[in-house]
Amino acid sequence: MYDVKFVYGKLILIAVTEEKEKKKVVALLSGGLDSQLAVRMMQEQGFDVSAVAIKTPFCDFDCGRGCGFEIRERADDLNVNLKTVYLGDEYIEMLKHPKHGIGAGFNPCVDCRTMMFDAAKKHMEEIGAEFIISGEVLGQRPMSQHAPSLSIIEKESGLVGKIVRPLSAGLLPETDPEKEGLIKRENLGMIRGRTRRNQLEMAKKYGIENPPNAGGGCLLTEPQFGVKAKDLFEHVETPTINDIDLLKIGRHFRLDEETKFVVGRNKDENEMIKAIALHEDILLEAKDHLGPVSILRGKNAKSHVEFAASVTLRYSDAPKNQDWIVTVKNNDIVEEVSSQCAEEESYIKFRM
């Protein structure tokens, strides 16, 4: 292309270099290494990458240096724009009846990934991107990263042919970007399984220092947390974010079908229990001894105050076989009850 200009009365042609606009792609970005590598691979092939981070009630996203902080750091390191999408009530609703079941904990990985890709799809449409990438590796995770699950996720998110998994794409069916010539199969990876050797070698190539360890980042994949989550969803028709926040702290006891009892394990958890407590909850604390803050929640909570007081004392430094005072706060009313430290056999059967 040429631009025509007059210089000192003479007509001259000036060559103009036309810079080709980069094609856009959207990356599902976590704090892990695999998604970083996927972004680097696409950037290396000339794509303009934008990132989407997904936050749910079950990830440590914004607490201190949680995964939210790490994702923002990763986005800066990768020089990509970052959009955060929060899946809250709709995620909880999905957990009530996950279409494709749960894993070893309480993790509905296939339904979860479908929701994540659906959120990325909306961003892809908003910015006019060509396709979506993720750091998924074939066979790395037992529930959501084997071929049948990957196919289900694509179909249910309406993204058949539009998801590229650069680390393993050489082992997967051809995608639309390949068919259209936007990417070439020889530039795609063929990584399979749980080993990280290939990824660590790639991290060196791309100058990614101190690559993070492999890890889930989702509380629902942890068996112990899964037990508490399953109990909550079995006893509460529609759990709230507050209910879920309470799951993340303390020792948990199911006293009856209507009543939950949680005992703090340290000073930080005690403060969190106080912050989480709702107006109708009952808070208990040893009056004259260091120990936990405990919370009773449920319709029958008042009928369990005496028992909860004895357990609260048991986890405090109050000596056994003596009566001690426990303060009980409910609906802004503070009362005192006298109790002794509970014996382990009286409460251990209720603990989750």
More confident residue, 10 or 64: 10
Largest CA distance in the chain: 108
Q: Domain boundary at 173, 199, 218, which?
A: 218
Does 223 fall in a domain? no
Cα angle 253, 96, 237 (rounded to 5 degrees) comes to 60
Least confident of 48-52, 222-226, 273-277, 311-315: 222-226
Does 108 fall in a domain? yes
Q: What is the pLDDT of residue 57?
A: 94
pLDDT > 70 in the chain, percent: 91
Q: Domain boundary at 197, 218, 239, which?
A: 218
Task: Supply the DSSP symbol for 146.
Answer: S
pLDDT (tens digit, 9 = 90+) per residue, 258-285? 999 999 999 999 999 999 999 999 999 9
More confident residue, 51 or 64: 51
Does 118 fall in a domain? yes
CATH number at residue 34: 3.40.50.620
Q: How far is CA 4 from the centre of its chain?
A: 57
210 and 325 part of one domain: no
pLDDT (tens digit, 9 = 90+) per residue, 76-134? 999 999 999 999 999 999 999 999 999 988 999 999 999 999 999 999 999 999 999 99
Does 320 fall in a domain? yes
What one-letter code names the amino acid at 34? D
Does 32 fall in a domain? yes
Q: What is the pLDDT of residue 212?
A: 79
36 and 79 part of one domain: yes
Q: Is 111 helix (H, G, I), strand (E, B) or coil?
A: helix
113 and 258 part of one domain: no
Q: Is 155 helix (H, G, I), strand (E, B) or coil?
A: helix
Q: How far is CA 133 from the centre of its chain?
A: 18
Distance CA 273, CA 126 (A): 40
Q: What is the pLDDT of residue 16?
A: 47
Q: What is the pLDDT of residue 197?
A: 94
Does 1 fall in a domain? no
Distance CA 3, CA 291 (A): 80
Cα angle 326, 327, 329 (rounded to 5 degrees) comes to 140
pLDDT (tens digit, 9 = 90+) per residue, 137-148? 999 988 899 999
35 and 105 part of one domain: yes
Question: Average pLDDT, stretch 291-311?
Answer: 98
Q: What is the pLDDT of residue 211?
A: 86
Q: What is the pLDDT of residue 63?
A: 42
291 and 182 part of one domain: no
H/E run at residue 298: strand 293-298
β-pair partners for 25:
49, 131
Total number of domains in the chain: 2
For the chain, the average pLDDT equals 92
185 and 293 part of one domain: no
Q: What is the pLDDT of residue 89?
A: 94
206 and 70 part of one domain: yes
Please provide residue 265's backbone torsions phi and psi, each rounded to the nearest 5 degrees.
-105, -15
Q: Domain boundary at 163, 195, 218, which?
A: 218
194 and 75 part of one domain: yes
Q: What is the pLDDT of residue 124?
A: 98
Please provide residue 294's backbone torsions phi and psi, each rounded to the nearest 5 degrees.
-115, 155
CB atoms within 10 A of CB 161: 15
Query: Does the pLDDT at position 66 exceed 50?
Result: no
Q: Cβ distance 52 to 85 under 8 Å?
A: yes
pLDDT > 90 in the chain, percent: 84
Tokens of 3: 């631009």
Does 238 fall in a domain? no
258 and 323 part of one domain: yes
Helix and strand counts by DSSP (H, E) for the chain: 12, 13
Q: What is the pLDDT of residue 65?
A: 39
68 and 197 part of one domain: yes
Does 311 fall in a domain? yes
53 and 147 part of one domain: yes
H/E run at residue 83: strand 81-86
| Domain limits for position 200 | 24-218
284 and 208 part of one domain: no
